[in-house]
Amino acid sequence: AQTVTQSQPEMSVQEAETVTLSCTYDTSESDYYLFWYKQPPSRQMILVIRQEAYKQQNATENRFSVNFQKAAKSFSLKISDSQLGDAAMYFCAYSYNNAGNMLTFGGGTRLMVKP
């Protein structure tokens, strides 16, 4: 069974600084997808970034980038120039086509941003 682990229950960062959230996963599949979702207090899950496992290049979206280490089964999220609006729960998630694209989520990391 696929599992996703986020070992940091809480992280804090100073506004304008950089923070990295960790995620590891376990799978025997070779073709899969990894995601980072943000969940603010309003509860609405918002996709931050996605990575296809077959792509060697790390995905980036503005201030958000990932470090995808396929052999180590590691998928960390780096947030640069942190803003107050980045404060939220962040969930790492995994999916693969043979499972109907269902998402398997990690337990989440609460990110606090200090002004």
**3-state SS class at 84:** helix
- The nearer residue to another protein, 9 or 115, going by C-beta atoms, is 9
| Residue carrying the six token digits 């296809």 | 52
Cβ atoms 63, 75 nearer than 8 A: no
Q: Is 51 in the site for another protein (CB under 8 A)?
A: no
Candidate segments 18-26, 62-70, 75-83, 87-95, binder of another protein by CB under 8 A = 87-95
Q: Is 16 in the site for another protein (CB under 8 A)?
A: no
Q: Which amino acid is at 36?
A: W
What sign does the dihedral 98-102-108-109 (CA atoms) show?
positive
Interacting residue ranges for another protein, rule: CB under 8 A? 4, 33, 37, 42-47, 50, 52, 91, 93, 95-97, 99-108
